[in-house]
Structure 1
């Protein structure tokens, strides 16, 4: 089985959470447009002024998706 990579966008400030939630909407749209085989997205609340949005992709798709969407960072996804 191919490894999964979690691409992460960081948002900071008083609007971090609503921005992360909104960004997830666009990530879901991207999955549909590109017909990606993995459809895992989400957002995490780190604290009051820091939230992240994420998209999980197959490792073989990571470079193409990374170059188009320009996430802030990535890590191996563990279920």
Structure 2
């Protein structure tokens, strides 16, 4: 099992859900273009005005992606 991290982008306000869903499109494109293996994205709704776009990647990508993509925060991913 590969250790993974979850990079998170928080979106708040009345358009948070749609903005997070749109952000996921770009993250998916990035995963494909950079050939990042063993990764995926998802959207998590926290509240009606707070939605999170999540990118789950192997731990070895953490430093590079943190610098390039500027997520709001990150955490260890557990299934």
Which of structure 1's runs of 4+ aligned residues deviate more than 2 A?
Answer: none
Aligned match of 1:75: 75
Structure 1 stretches lacking a partner, 5+ long: none
1:54 aligns with 2:54: yes
Q: Is 1:28–1:39's contact at 8 Å kept on the other side of the alignment? A: no
Structure 2 stretches lacking a partner, 5+ long: none
Equivalent position SS for 2:45:
strand
Q: Is 1:3–1:58's contact at 8 Å kept on the other side of the alignment? A: yes
Given the two structures, how large is their TM-score scaled by the length of structure 2? 0.95
Aligned residues: 79
Alpha-carbon distance in structure 1 between the residues aligned to 2:52 and 2:76: 16
Aligned match of 2:39: 39
Q: Is 2:16–2:50's contact at 8 Å kept on the other side of the alignment? A: yes
Given the two structures, how large is their TM-score scaled by the length of structure 1? 0.95
